Amino acid sequence: MSLDLNQATPEDIRERAAIDRSARWPVLFFFTSAAAWLAVATLLGFFSGLKLAVPGLWEHCSIFNYGRLFPVHMIALVYGWAMQAGLGAMIWLMARLTRSEVRNGTTIIVAGHIWNFGVSLAMLAVWAGKGRSMPWLDFPAWIAPVLFIGYLMTTLWLIPMYRARRAGEVYVSEMFLIGAAVWFPWIFGTANLLVGDSGSAVMSAGANAWYMSNLIFFWFIPIALGAAYYLIPKIAGRPIYSYPLAKVGFWSLAILAGWTGFSRFVGGPFPAWIPAVSGTATIFLLVAVLATGINFWKTVKGDSDVKLWEFSPTLRFTMFGALMFVVYGILSALSSFFTFSKVFQFSHFVVGLDVLAVYGVFSMMIFGAIYYIVPRITGCEWPSADLIRKHFWFSTYGIGTVVLTMLIGGFAQAGQMNQWDSSFILSVEVGSRWVVGRIIAWLLITFSNLGFFYQLALMFFGRGRRSEGATLMQPHSPESAH
């Protein structure tokens, strides 16, 4: 069946090669445009942090105001990089899982151009001062249909692909990917109809917070998990440690995640049950998060002492992302409690948590997928293991820096702000020291991705290493296995 990991017949190999060939140009298009947007996003992250710490810099140029740079950075990161990387991975994974070739490659590439056009419009509109200060939905309302159409033209094909798939049980990755495919239009459509100039000012703002959380739990995380559930068993050469647990994880995510989001406004002007329900759902989700983490860990570790993640770049990125997933789940659950949110709500920590979700969890797991997928669709291997190592370590340092400094900085800033009889400016001063951490983190992340861009460009032009063996992080020999 589809889980025969070690016995690949010549027919299987030919079939896989045909699938990979059919997916080559659409998937590469999404990965390369995503990478370009990542470069833009990380630089903007650096500059927005800089403007926060040194507001007097270029202060008479409105386009360099923090209030413009930060939303533009978020748009580039979320819609430019993260969504396109996810779409590329989705297409290849579904093609492989359903054992069917990608038939609408040209349409998908056109759709990708439409998506890029929409993201560029969104960025320019917000940068020029037509934004709306609504996190992740800043762009003027008329741009949403452009993005929606681009998305539709890309992912609609996944449904017939699923329908026409090979006989047998549905694998959990397919469920995650089909889930993500339908969840995004549901939440994006709902959010764009409710958020903005509307009949209920407060619920509109609440729907914005709901959208942010749902985008993370209903699009970014399902794609990352779908990729991980496919790639980890393949590389480890073992089936998933507990497959029923994986399905339980999927359905608990499907049932719980829609309730999350409003806990961003705990204590806010909502009927008290709304943020409370969101907080509870986030806490329950922790069970699914931990179960998934344990599942991955047990699968990778298996019975042997070999630390596979030291060799395989894919596994290393994916396992790190999975670890960040557990950290994110714990921090999100903690922020649902008043004790925690009394201090961390509205502090610098908010940014740390959002960046953890988009970069620490999703992006790291997608890098893992990209390092696996691109050699297979281009027919050549990554040229330099050294650059992959740099990419991994500097990204790790970057995400660690931003999460830690924003956690500690948020604690310091809000702790000072909570001294209600002291002047507010003290909290700003205390916080700005930690904003430096944000600047350094984005610098590290930008640097980490330089090697990635270079290698991806080489692979795109087919200039990778011609080799039978995969590029590993360390040379693998029988003696070094222990």
Site for another protein in 183-202 (CB under 8 A): 183, 185-186, 189-190, 193-194, 196-202
- Binding of residue 450 to another protein (CB under 8 A): no
CB nearer to another protein: give 322 or 414. Answer: 414
222 binds another protein (CB under 8 A): no
DSSP 381: B
Indicate which single residue of 179, 226, 368, 464 sits in contact with another protein (rule: CB under 8 A). Answer: 179
What is the dihedral angle through the alpha carbons of 348, 350, 355, 357, rounded to the nearest 10 degrees?
150
CA distance 345 to 340: 8
Stretch that binds another protein, among 76-84, 172-180, 236-244, 371-379 (CB under 8 A): 172-180
CB-CB contact of 248 with 229 (8 Å): no
**Side-chain-facing half-sphere of 236: CA atoms under 13 Å:** 28
Residue 66 as a binder of another protein (CB under 8 A): the answer is: yes
Site for another protein in 325-344 (CB under 8 A): 338, 341-342
Residue of the chain from 122, 205, 225, 456 that contacts another protein (CB under 8 A): 205
Burial status of residue 386 (CB atoms within 10 A of its CB: 0-12, 13-18, 19 or more):
exposed
Round to whole Å and give the CA distance between 254 and 186. 13
| CB atoms near residue 204 (< 10 Å) | 16
For 289, counting Cβ atoms within 10 Å of its Cβ (0-12 exposed, 13-18 middle, 19+ buried), the class is buried
- Which of 278, 282, 363, 449 touches another protein (CB under 8 A)? 278
* Residue 132 found at the interface with another protein (CB under 8 A): yes
Interactions with another protein, residue window 230-259 (CB under 8 A): 251, 254-255, 258-259
Selected range binding another protein among 231-239, 287-295, 417-425, 437-445, rule: CB under 8 A: 417-425
> How many residues contact another protein, by CB under 8 A?
99
348, 376, 391, 438: residue in contact with another protein (rule CB under 8 A): 348
Select the residue interacting with another protein from 100, 263, 282, 405 (CB under 8 A).
Answer: 100
Residue 55: which residues within 8 A CB-CB, separation 6 or more?
Answer: 66
Binds another protein (CB under 8 A): choice among 3, 141, 160, 480: 160
**Rounded to whole angstroms, how far apart are CA atoms 442 and 461?**
28
- Residues facing residue 465 across a β-bridge: 381
Binding flag, residue 166, another protein (CB under 8 A): yes
Give the position of tokens 């469920």.
Answer: 175
Find where tokens 């990979």 sit.
20
- Radius of gyration of the chain from its Cα atoms, rounded to whole angstroms: 22
Task: For residue 167, state whether it binds another protein (rule: CB under 8 A).
Answer: yes
User: At closest approach, how far in Å is the CB of 441 from another protein?
Assistant: 17
Q: Which is nearer to another protein, 169 or 386 (CB)?
A: 169
Which member of 87, 232, 274, 327 binds another protein (CB under 8 A)? 274
Around 69, how many Cα atoms within 13 Å sit in the side-chain half-sphere? Answer: 21
Q: Which stretch binds another protein (CB under 8 A): 50-58, 77-85, 371-379, 382-390?
A: 50-58
Residue from 115, 262, 296, 359 in contact with another protein (CB under 8 A): 262
Choice between 159 and 330, CB closer to another protein? 159
| Site track 68-87 with another protein (rule: CB under 8 A), x = hit | x-xx----------------
- What distances in angstroms separate CA 97 from CA 1, 101, 183, 236, 367, one per listed residue? 11, 10, 20, 18, 19
- Residue 474 DSSP label: S
Task: Pick between residue 180 and residue 387 the one whose CB is nearest to another protein.
Answer: 180
Helix-helix angle 221-236:243-256, to 10 degrees = 170
Using rule CB under 8 A, residue 145 touches another protein: no
The only residue of 106, 304, 418, 480 in contact with another protein, by rule CB under 8 A: 418
Stretch that binds another protein, among 29-37, 357-365, 413-421, 463-471 (CB under 8 A): 413-421
Structure token pair of residue 123: 């960025």
